[in-house]
């Protein structure tokens, strides 16, 4: 197949198909992220630990502890589901 023998305007179809595939991939990526808790605004608190208590506002430190506890619970649930799936 020789590209010089194709009719004029064929490249727009290649661009449309490529654009459509990119949009579909982006939709699937966003859907995956939503289903896997990737849009959690509180994730910023997970970079802190108990040693940062003196550097944080008491309210922020309490929020960090709550977020860490919720994340650990979620982690255990995911690991338990994985173990049950493998068994």
Q: pLDDT, tens digit, for every residue of 18-69?
A: 999 999 999 999 999 998 878 888 888 888 888 888 888 889 989 999 998 9
Using left for φ > 0, alpha for ψ between -120 and 50, and beta otherwise, residue 19 falls in alpha
Question: Would you kindly state where each structural domain of the chain is located, as residue ranges?
Answer: 1-39, 40-87
CA dist list (Å): 13 to 6, 10, 19, 20, 25: 12, 6, 10, 10, 18
pTM for the complete prediction?
A: 0.58
């Amino acid at each position: 197949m020789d590209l010089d023998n194709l009719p004029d305007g064929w490249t727009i179809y290649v661009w449309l198909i490529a654009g459509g595939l990119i949009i579909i991939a982006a939709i699937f990526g966003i859907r995956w992220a939503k289903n896997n808790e990737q849009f959690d605004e509180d994730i910023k608190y997970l970079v802190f630990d108990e040693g940062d208590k003196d550097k944080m506002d008491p309210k922020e430190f309490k929020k960090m502890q709550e977020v860490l506890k919720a994340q650990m619970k979620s982690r255990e649930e995911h690991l338990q589901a994985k173990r049950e799936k493998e068994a």
